[in-house]
Structure 1
């Protein structure tokens, strides 16, 4: 126990120093992969080291190569940070070391998962009877939901895909907006469904209802899945759910919503209108590490019909102690897995209903402040309708936009990455971190102005 306590104490001290440094820390990493390898040592030692020495070496050698993802000035990807209660709960998850697979074997986690799942459905305005599975992230949440959808539409066509597989059966026709996230394509590849048929989208990435109706009509009686999105990765735009889901239902299609970060709009009275009609879908995927700000890894796969999800994900093993009421393993692909629900419960219990709404609204407010500040810079243009947490801008031409982004990363005040949207190089800002303040936004805008002035 002495060695364990000493190692944990070292980790605690290093963690506190890391967190305390975030407000003033340079956001990009200061060291390269090669420099970190040299500091750690590439050769495996012949003999053991003490746990405390190992922890100290790891923290000291890696610190220069860390990116300030958890800080308030990282906007490069939609990754969020970690709420204090969720961070502390995650430390307990590692210490408790529970493999949260079976209801009767891990009653503590199962109870917390049941409660957190019910809270999530309530906050997101989704059907209360839905099943909630805790996956590694949004990609696997999409995979899980689409696996349920695949088996369901094949079942309606008389094919038992769980027993007979896909070979020789009817092809599943998948329709998705032309501006969908690539994680959807990846999940479909894993499932053996191939790339979806792209459906025309408007200038903000919203799927066109009439184009969807035409594609559905062309599908005929084929087993069909329609994939919609809550929150375009560039514009933050939401698909028009009432029209698209109605058309999909009339065609007998399974409707899935990829809401990796945008589904959380439903938790805010000010932004819930963006998800109007979304609850009429069959499944939804989101990521608690993004807008809710719990630690990696924590995707959420939500399926309206628990029996369909259980049929797709459930398993039997003579050595397993399965519960007739269902087990956590019935809702996700993994057997060995962390107690992800502990951190989600901690974040929700800490924030409460009003706190989650306030978190969403602060993130959106910061995005609006970014848009206003960038629009005032000579030669800069905000290209999207800022409806949620995403801002896309350019600085006149592709070459200048790239120079501004490069100068920003050299400066180190912030991390904002580039992208390509509608054929143009753009600066894409994703406001996702609970700890971002108005001062962080002001400092970042000053850095953008400085980068633009020199580009």
Structure 2
């Protein structure tokens, strides 16, 4: 073998060095800056210097510029970390390097199906739901909306997967506070962002008013309609009344999709599970595992009670593929990695009880953070802390003042949060979804907030 190419004997030194680097990074997360102020240019990689030298080069030049997003005080977006068991599963997924596109010659696809079924039971979904792994909310919502589109047009005698959208009636999407990935999916699928209608929400809430949905469904005539329910709205963690929306959808022949990116894990907390009443009545459900399950990116699940329609949309026709029940026929990807393995390890290692404990603890910590912020004269907490998200604003100042506050918080490094707009007001949101976050982290975060306010 050429000296420029690897030999199998090089696995051990390369992986041993990578293990040491990974452990140094992981053990340093509690003190690593949650976010990094970095606007420098990233140079091209060196060429041909060998695996160990490449790792050393990376650690010296690039690793210091990485955030502590896997750490306990990264509260931007909705970001989990990686539990030890999930990380082990992810490393093994790379080592095994299985292409989970088909069922021939490997048990990887069978393990994936066993894993999706196990999580369906965890979330309270029945055996009629089929689940598949995808990369995240955009992909899962796109799969769900594409399947919904197929069903809605099939009711009108039109096979959109075969015939396209030409001549088909315009489809509409209704919701109270749909996530941005719903709009992206609508753009991808030819539904159009303009045909995603945002309905009136309940007073002081980000949950849709069921009466507003009833009114809109009643005046829609024969127009095919897809209703999106939020199970954990991204700004406040609010939940739509899924059971009420399901009853309306059944009455009007509409499809009900539940976007449960992180909120589906409320099912594992007895104090929160009631928010998901009616979930099993949905036509499709999505959830991100790289959020509250704390498996590495990227990992999400899409469930539907209409897998045959899902297959009509995503099947790949080629002689060498055959007419099989392979996973490649149910998602946009043909080839994809063994995403199920980290999720399998997480459930096997920690079980419902352990995963539920992370959910309960994070919700309690969010309440602690909300109480601490509410005690600051310069801060106004804008909504009830229902789940794991705290939404707040500066009492004085506009969006520019909010952004300067976040810049100071970023420079401080002890905590990371992201901006939003809530009921037209510039705001900040902190989402707690990391398994390792503690009360001490919340106290450090409050110290950082006070320092950022004082520096104004």
User: Normalised by the size of structure 2, how large is the TM-score?
Assistant: 0.94
Q: What's the counterpart of residue 362 of structure 1?
A: 361
State the shift of 1:31 in Å: 4.2
State the shift of 1:13 in Å: 1.2
State the shift of 1:322 in Å: 5.0
Q: What's the counterpart of residue 329 of structure 2?
A: 330
State the shift of 1:106 in Å: 2.6
Match of 1:29, SS state, is coil
State the shift of 1:59 in Å: 2.7
- Distance, in Å, in 2 between the alignment partners of 1:43 and 1:84 is 30
Match of 2:301, SS state, is strand
- Distance, in Å, in 2 between the alignment partners of 1:244 and 1:136 is 27
Q: 1:32 aligns with which of 24, 33, 39?
A: 39
Measured on the aligned residues, the alpha-carbon RMSD in Å equals 1.6
Which structure 2 residues correspond to residues 34-113 of structure 1 after superposition, within 5 A?
A: 34=41, 36-37=42-43, 42=44, 45=47, 48-107=48-107, 109-113=108-112
Runs of 5+ unmatched residues, structure 2:
1-7
Match of 2:290, SS state, is coil
Query: Any idea what the Cα deviations from partners look like across 1:6-52, whole Å, max 9, x if unmatched?
Result: 22122111111111111111222254332x42xxxx3764xx22122
State the shift of 1:164 in Å: 0.5
Q: What's the counterpart of residue 339 of structure 1?
A: 338
**Is the CA contact (8 Å cut-off) linking 1:200 and 1:207 kept in structure 2?**
yes
Q: What's the counterpart of residue 179 of structure 2?
A: 181
- Distance, in Å, in 1 between the alignment partners of 2:321 and 2:56 is 39
State the shift of 1:229 in Å: 0.8
2:427 is equivalent to residue 447 of structure 1: no
**Is the CA contact (8 Å cut-off) linking 1:290 and 1:432 kept in structure 2?**
yes
- Distance, in Å, in 1 between the alignment partners of 2:443 and 2:356 is 23
- Distance, in Å, in 1 between the alignment partners of 2:323 and 2:444 is 54
- Indicate how the Cα distance of structure 1 residues 10 and 32 shifts in structure 2: closer, same or farther if over 3 A, else same: farther
Match of 1:169, SS state, is coil
- Distance, in Å, in 2 between the alignment partners of 1:7 and 1:288 is 29
- Distance, in Å, in 2 between the alignment partners of 1:378 and 1:91 is 47
- Indicate how the Cα distance of structure 1 residues 446 and 93 shifts in structure 2: closer, same or farther if over 3 A, else same: same
State the shift of 1:321 in Å: 5.2
2:23 is equivalent to residue 22 of structure 1: no
2:10 is equivalent to residue 3 of structure 1: yes
Out of 142-151 and 314-323, give the one that drifted further. Answer: 314-323
2:179 is equivalent to residue 172 of structure 1: no
Match of 1:133, SS state, is strand
- Distance, in Å, in 1 between the alignment partners of 2:423 and 2:348 is 41
State the shift of 1:397 in Å: 2.1
- Distance, in Å, in 1 between the alignment partners of 2:359 and 2:9 is 43
- Distance, in Å, in 2 between the alignment partners of 1:197 and 1:32 is 37
- Distance, in Å, in 2 between the alignment partners of 1:223 and 1:402 is 41
**Is the CA contact (8 Å cut-off) linking 2:150 and 2:313 kept in structure 1?**
yes
2:207 is equivalent to residue 200 of structure 1: no
Which structure 2 residues correspond to residues 13-412 of structure 1 after superposition, within 5 A?
A: 13-29=20-36, 31-34=38-41, 36-37=42-43, 42=44, 45=47, 48-107=48-107, 109-177=108-176, 179-195=177-193, 196-202=196-202, 203-320=204-321, 323=324, 326-399=325-398, 400-412=401-413
Query: Any idea what the Cα deviations from partners look like across 1:350-401, whole Å, max 9, x if unmatched?
Result: 1111112111111111111111111111131111111111111112123454
- Distance, in Å, in 1 between the alignment partners of 2:54 and 2:45 is 14
Match of 1:71, SS state, is coil
Query: Any idea what the Cα deviations from partners look like across 1:203-254, whole Å, max 9, x if unmatched?
Result: 3211111110111111112221111111111111001112111111100001
Question: Across the two proteins, how many residue pairs are aligned to each other?
Answer: 444
Match of 1:33, SS state, is coil
**Is the CA contact (8 Å cut-off) linking 2:100 and 2:335 kept in structure 1?**
yes
- Distance, in Å, in 1 between the alignment partners of 2:37 and 2:231 is 35
Runs of 5+ unmatched residues, structure 1:
none
**Is the CA contact (8 Å cut-off) linking 2:369 and 2:390 kept in structure 1?**
yes
Q: What's the counterpart of residue 5 of structure 2?
A: none
